[in-house]
Structure 1
């Protein structure tokens, strides 16, 4: 039976049971409690043992290869090793490998798992003033971009590509945005105009080495942990090749129409320029990347509609995306 014919609640129960039964792959004291804390592309679990806490990420089947996951971990560890930023360290299994395999007779396919050190911190809340965190985030983004230009990435790089073909192409990573809920004929017409404009402007913008390379690709609030003056960047699962400015667009995911976004954009740019140059031309194109990311998220909602988060956003997300598209078309 395919995993996708099983209701998500039942499937997650199977995964949870398999994770609990797989703790012997690592050196973990017993007893240990396993709690599901997040479901998105992957399922994330908190492991509470007698003497420590850790995080296990169970990868969605078919999203990344084992080598691709190892490359993600290599970059995140290099960023910490080179003092670019602090990232939670992966914990090797008893066999010395960071990537472990989740095998279960109940699950229809094997899945990959990674255990990470637990780090203290809180996620920023969009209801608070985020200008300070976004200024720090801009600097973090710039440091990761500088590092990606000098780091000797493994070859061939088996990571995702976040360009216009990945969002709008026939084999789009998250599917066709037209298949998302509540995309009416009128909304579809508006978004098709926006897609044409985004693709044209990105083609003119180009993929020069100074603006395109290895990026985190998901620097949104859910992937930041703030502990005093220290900000941790977590979850490099979507890292891959893309435009550097895509990292700003990802930072405002699901809140693109929030009233404080203009201030957050200014704060991000200010922080970025403390580390790395950002031309006026690049700054002027940021709306294009916001539109690209927003339409990718619309497709993501459609292709992940069985999960709670997409279901909650589905009723109004298409209409909100069309409103953003109208403003984008009017501007350019």
Structure 2
């Protein structure tokens, strides 16, 4: 058998399909169609079954699921099952999120290994939610709906008690640009390789953010379990005016205001940004309140996300010097930070 590392991308996916099929058997599906949706980080398939079992409530597509083969080494031990426990609790509470499907043994995930693939993959199965991504022309109502969604998720997080052994990443200094970012590199390894052109702005933002973190602490009034990656360009579906959250892979503990800042990052540079910001906060305030002291730092935490992109962009160039995606994203992040610093908006 040819070594896995010597295969073409198509050859690797052909073997990965065997993992997917074995995983489906563990979840009780022997007859199903698989369609590859994403092969970046996690490998994700759309699964169609022949059960013809209607799902009550109208939130999910009948006989349709998302099968995820989780990226080896990206999550800490136990983090995948913790995500699924969180999703199960959100689903039981009636929030619009993917519902995890247990295996035949009642487990939330299963580890699968097959001959010819050197690393076993942790696999999970979720119901496929109805909805579509936002169009290119975003309207204020999209942001208002996202604001409501974030408020509902944060309200649940404020009252939910995670089970013993629950583990998710943290969006504090260590998780944003420290030693526990998920990049596989330490802070020293990445910081020393950030191009001089970017470093001054990067350091200025990270210093300001860390000062706020130090001042606020991590009490439940400022810090809790957040999605951390909701926006008009990713991880939000819209259905009949409602925003629905998908892809909790990067969800973890962070500042409430950071969760609100992320959707605005997609719209930086748009002349209508103030209108979108007002719509986001209007939707949020319908369900949950946030003190002005925290809202005043919304722009700073947008810059924190951009600093995270500079960190990740640099780490990614260390791993893959020929990749242009993160190089371009890092440049864009630096431009936005520099502009914000000049305008005094952070």
Is contact 2:317-2:327 (8 Å) kept?
Answer: no
Counterparts of 1:238-249 in structure 2, within 5 Å, are 238-249=250-261
- Paired with 2:328 and 2:161, the residues of 1 have a C-alpha distance of 43
Change beyond 3 A, Cα 1:177–1:314 = farther
Q: Which of 272, 277, 285 in structure 1 is aligned with 2:297? A: 285
Query: Which shows bigger deviation, 285-294 or 257-266?
Result: 257-266
- Paired with 2:154 and 2:291, the residues of 1 have a C-alpha distance of 15
Partner of residue 154, structure 2? 145
- Paired with 1:4 and 1:275, the residues of 2 have a C-alpha distance of 50
Change beyond 3 A, Cα 1:141–1:91 = same
Partner of residue 141, structure 2? 132
Change beyond 3 A, Cα 1:183–1:67 = closer
Q: Which of 173, 184, 192 in structure 1 is aligned with 2:203? A: 192
Is contact 1:216-1:238 (8 Å) kept?
Answer: yes
Deviation at 1:273, TM superposition (A): 0.9
Partner of residue 25, structure 1? 26
Partner of residue 201, structure 1? 212
TM-score normalised to the size of structure 1?
0.86
**Paired residue secondary structure (2:107):** coil
* Number of equivalent positions: 327
Q: Which of 214, 237, 250 in structure 1 is aligned with 2:225? A: 214
Change beyond 3 A, Cα 1:293–1:43 = same
Structure 1 residues without counterparts, runs of 5 or longer:
none
Instruction: Tell whether 2:122 aligns with 1:112.
Output: yes
Change beyond 3 A, Cα 1:287–1:14 = farther
Is contact 1:183-1:318 (8 Å) kept?
Answer: no
Deviation at 1:255, TM superposition (A): 4.8
Kindly report the root-mean-square deviation, in angstroms, between the aligned alpha carbons of the 2 structures: 3.1
Is contact 2:97-2:244 (8 Å) kept?
Answer: yes
Q: Which of 70, 78, 99 in structure 2 is aligned with 1:89? A: 99
- Paired with 1:271 and 1:177, the residues of 2 have a C-alpha distance of 40
- Paired with 2:142 and 2:212, the residues of 1 have a C-alpha distance of 30
- Paired with 2:337 and 2:213, the residues of 1 have a C-alpha distance of 16
Query: Which shows bigger deviation, 86-95 or 34-43?
Result: 34-43
Change beyond 3 A, Cα 1:64–1:173 = closer
Higher relative contact order (CA 8 A, sep 6+): 1
Partner of residue 273, structure 1? 285
**Paired residue secondary structure (2:197):** helix
**Paired residue secondary structure (1:18):** helix
Deviation at 1:318, TM superposition (A): 2.4
Deviation at 1:55, TM superposition (A): 0.9
**Paired residue secondary structure (1:232):** strand
- Paired with 1:279 and 1:23, the residues of 2 have a C-alpha distance of 46
- Paired with 2:270 and 2:213, the residues of 1 have a C-alpha distance of 24
Counterparts of 1:312-331 in structure 2, within 5 Å, are 313-330=325-342, 331=344
Listed one character per residue, the Cα deviations across residues 229-255 of structure 1 (whole Å, up to 9, x for unaligned) are 333211222221110112123324555
